[in-house]
Amino acid sequence: MSLTALQNARPETAIVLGSGLGAVAEAFGIESEVAYADVPGLSASTVPGHAGRFVLAQHHGKPILLAQGRRHLYEGLTAHEVTASIRFMHEIGVKRVVLTNAAGAIHESFHVGGLMLITDHINLQGTTPLLGGPNFHDMSEVYSRAWCEKFHAASLEIGLKLHAGVYAAMLGPQYETPAEIRMLRTLGADAVGMSTVPEAIQARALGMEVAGISMLTNWAAGLRAQTLHHAEVVEVGKTAGMYLARLLKAAV
- Residues with active-site annotation: 19, 50, 72, 74-75, 102, 194-195, 218, 230
Select the residue interacting with ligand HPA from 220, 234, 245, 247 (CB under 6 A). 220
Q: What is the DSSP letter of 211?
A: E
Q: Is 157 helix (H, G, I), strand (E, B) or coil?
A: helix
**CB 140, min distance to ligand HPA, A:** 26
Residue partners of 135: CB distance under 8 A and separation at least 6: none
Q: For residues 89-98, b (16+ Cβ closer than 10 Å) or e, as one string?
A: bbebebebbb
State the Cα–Cα distance between residues 94 and 107, nearest whole angstrom. Answer: 33
State the Cα–Cα distance between residues 147 and 247, nearest whole angstrom. Answer: 13
From 72-80, 116-124, 186-194, 204-212, span contacting ligand HPA (CB under 6 A): 186-194
Select the residue interacting with ligand HPA from 129, 210, 217, 245 (CB under 6 A). 217
Asked if residue 49 lies in contact with residue 237, where contact means CB atoms within 8 angstroms, the answer is yes
Q: Is 233 in the site for ligand HPA (CB under 6 A)?
A: yes
Q: Is 199 helix (H, G, I), strand (E, B) or coil?
A: helix
From 38-46, 60-68, 187-195, 239-247, span contacting ligand HPA (CB under 6 A): 187-195
Instruction: List the beta bridge partners of residue 32.
Output: 56
Draw the binding track, 134-173, toward ligand HPA (x: CB under 6 A; -: no contact). ----------------------------------------
Q: What is the DSSP letter of 176?
A: P
Select the residue interacting with ligand HPA from 71, 175, 184, 198 (CB under 6 A). 175
Q: Is 11 in the site for ligand HPA (CB under 6 A)?
A: no
What is the size of the binding site for ligand HPA (CB under 6 A)? 13
State the Cα–Cα distance between residues 252 and 247, nearest whole angstrom. Answer: 8
Residues contributing to the site for ligand HPA (CB under 6 A): 102-104, 175-176, 192-194, 217-218, 220, 228, 233
